[in-house]
Structure 1
Amino acid sequence: MNMEYTIRQMKQSEYSLLNDFLYEAIFQRDETNLVPKTIIEKPELQVYIKNFGEEKDDYCLCAEVDEKVVGAVWVRKVNGYGSVDNITPEFAISLYKDFRGHGIGTAMMKEMLKYLKNAGYSKTSLAVQKDNYALKMYLSVGFQIIDENNEEYIMVHYLR
């Protein structure tokens, strides 16, 4: 089934949706025992969305299906799980479960990478759990593993 979708810049009035997308971005190995939504209140997760839009490097694209926002990809300079330095924006992406597997995530990533390159950034980074299905997608759009810890790979996409 081919799903019709649009990718566009997220409006400031929609930034509250990042709470949902931050939760959706958490890789949950056990679908029968989900972590509580309150986990996103942890400071190490709040850095990705708190006061989003107030920093000069905050930028977000979203995917829309039937006039409903179903996914988001956003970047900001944070000291997060995938930080490599203080000048590289860190990448976050998520889609509601029903919309995964249709190429929407890959399309959102490619649009964000194009934006970052045009905006003059030399690279972007992210962290991904080693057993996360999204790892294949990150590799397919050009992210490279540059470091790892017990659970995660730190990945960078060089934009030049």
Structure 2
Amino acid sequence: MDTPELRVYLDEFGKELSDVAVTLRCDGEIVGAAWSRVMDDYGHLYDGVPSLAISLLPEYRGRGLGKRLLAGLLEELRSSGFDRVTLAVQKANYAACKLYTGLGFETVGEKDEEYLMLKNLT
């Protein structure tokens, strides 16, 4: 997380309205998180539109927990007044692509190894 391309996700997180995060706990331990902010990251498409990231420990994947995390984050973004959110996903990550399209994200562009996706929150 100390590389510049990853620091954009965390540096001074919480200072801006678009800095929204939700976590998932199991037995008191955080096992996953989804967060967003307006940032110039891999999923950046439009100025002023937050992009999101998600992380879930491997042993908790494939149980629908990522969907719960994202649904919570999307609701928080709606409540904060955002009408769109973006992300980038590796083309080879079929499970993530399926998750995002199942939640209403649409592919609006692509790079060599990634799809760029957009979800309207209204």
User: With structure 1 as the length reference, what TM-score do the two structures score?
Assistant: 0.73
Where does the alignment leave 5 or more consecutive residues of structure 1 unmatched? 1-39
2:106 maps to 144
Structure 1 runs of 4+ with >4 Å offset: none
Given that 2:20 and 2:77 are in contact with CA atoms closer than 8 Å, whether structure 1 keeps it comes out as no
The separation in 1 between residues aligned to 2:80 and 2:16, in whole angstroms, is 15
Give the root-mean-square deviation of aligned CA atoms: 1.0
Count residues with an aligned counterpart: 121
The separation in 2 between residues aligned to 1:88 and 1:150, in whole angstroms, is 23
How far apart are 1:56 and its partner, in Å? 2.8
Is 1:153 aligned to 2:90, yes or no?
Answer: no
Structure number with bigger Rg: 1
The separation in 1 between residues aligned to 2:79 and 2:11, in whole angstroms, is 26
The separation in 2 between residues aligned to 1:149 and 1:111, in whole angstroms, is 28
Where does the alignment leave 5 or more consecutive residues of structure 2 unmatched? none
Which one of 63, 67, 72 corresponds to residue 106 of structure 1? 67
Is 1:42 aligned to 2:3, yes or no?
Answer: yes
SS of 2:45 mapped into structure 1? coil
How far apart are 1:115 and its partner, in Å? 1.4
Letter in structure 1 aligned against 2:82: Y
The separation in 2 between residues aligned to 1:149 and 1:100, in whole angstroms, is 26
User: With structure 2 as the length reference, what TM-score do the two structures score?
Assistant: 0.94
SS of 1:98 mapped into structure 2? helix
Q: By percentage of residues, which structure has more helix?
A: 1
Equivalent runs, 1:49-60 vs 2, <5 Å: 49-60=10-21
Equivalent runs, 1:1-160 vs 2, <5 Å: 40-132=1-93, 133-160=95-122
